[in-house]
Structures are given as C-alpha cells and as structure tokens.
Amino acid sequence: MKTNLISTLIFALFFTTCVFSQKKKEGNPFSMIVKTTKKEIPVITMPSITQSEIDYIKTKNELDGEKFQFAYGFDVKINVKEKSVVDTLKNGLLYRLSILSKGAKSLNIIFGKYNLPQGAKLYLYGNNHRTIKGGFTNENNKSNKKLAVEPVFGEQITLSHSIFKTQITLL
C-alpha cells in the first residue's frame, strides 16, 4: 500500500512538472475576443466506452497493484485543418473544432504531429470557457512533434487555432 502511494505521488509530481513546464502564452482564444461568423463548430464524437470495459479496468486496477489506469484513450487521426470550421479574418484565419466524449469527466489531447508556424496560437477550452489551456505557439514545437495538453474538465473540448499574417496586438 505504501509503495502504491509513493508511486502515485511520484507519477503525479512527474506529470504535473511535465504539464506545467510547457511554454504558454497567457490570454484568451482569439475566437472569444473577436466577432466571428455564426458558423456552427463541427463536433467529432469519440466512440462510447461500455460499462463492461469500465468494469474490466476497475478489476484490473484492483488486481495489479503497480499500474493504475485512470483514463481510456482513443487513438484517432484527426486533421484539425480539414475538420475545422474556418473563419477568414482581416489579418488571418481562425480554425475551430470540438471533440465530444459522452460521459467523460475530463478530456485531454496528445497531438502526434504538432508543428505550429510562427504567428499561430492554439487554445483548448471546455464548454463553460472557465478552463482554458494555451496559447501554445511555435515555441512548443519539439523534434518528436508531440504535445500533450493537461485535461480540460467536462465531456467536450474545443480547439481554437489562429494563424495570422502579422502579429496582432489587442489593447
């Protein structure tokens, strides 16, 4: 029991350090600041997880004292630019896309091909707009092209990705 607690604390400390060490530009998604068109944001719905799958995970956690699964991952390939609604702004483009996983307590995303150009910003937020993650920029680009974003509470997460021709300063 003591070993499990120590392992959990070490994992939590490691996870927190990794997540909060990401370079972020504070602020709000551009879509919350400017007036955009009334286009509906597309929603991609993740497959449902059955109660038997949840029960299996719980049983496995009880039997295996070393590993603890607390989330269910879906390996999906989503081209954000192709699936998003796009607003053409005076100085650039704004892409928006939502992902829904019914019944989820929180969602997080791990980007497998993250590579933002100069002048682009990415934000993620829940439906209530209280939890905002980002803005992630080209400073977050890594050689392995991955970016893991800490969880957003709720069953839906929206990605707001803006690309500008020149830097915009809002006063």
pLDDT in tens, 109-151: 999 999 989 889 999 999 877 788 998 999 999 999 999 999 9
pLDDT of amino acid 14: 43
pLDDT of amino acid 23: 56
Least confident of 10-14, 22-26, 56-60, 61-65: 10-14
Those residues with Cβ within 8 angstroms of residue 144's Cβ, 6 or more apart along the chain or in another chain: none
Contacts of range 74-83, beta carbons closer than 8 Å, 24 or more positions apart: 74/46, 74/47, 74/101, 76/44, 76/46, 77/112, 78/44, 80/159, 80/161, 83/42, 83/44
pLDDT of amino acid 129: 76
Least confident of 6-15, 24-33, 133-142, 157-166: 6-15
Higher pLDDT, 69 or 74: 74
Per-residue pLDDT band at 58 (split at 50, 70, 90)? confident
Tell me how crowded residue 1 is: count the other CB atoms within 10 A of its CB.
6
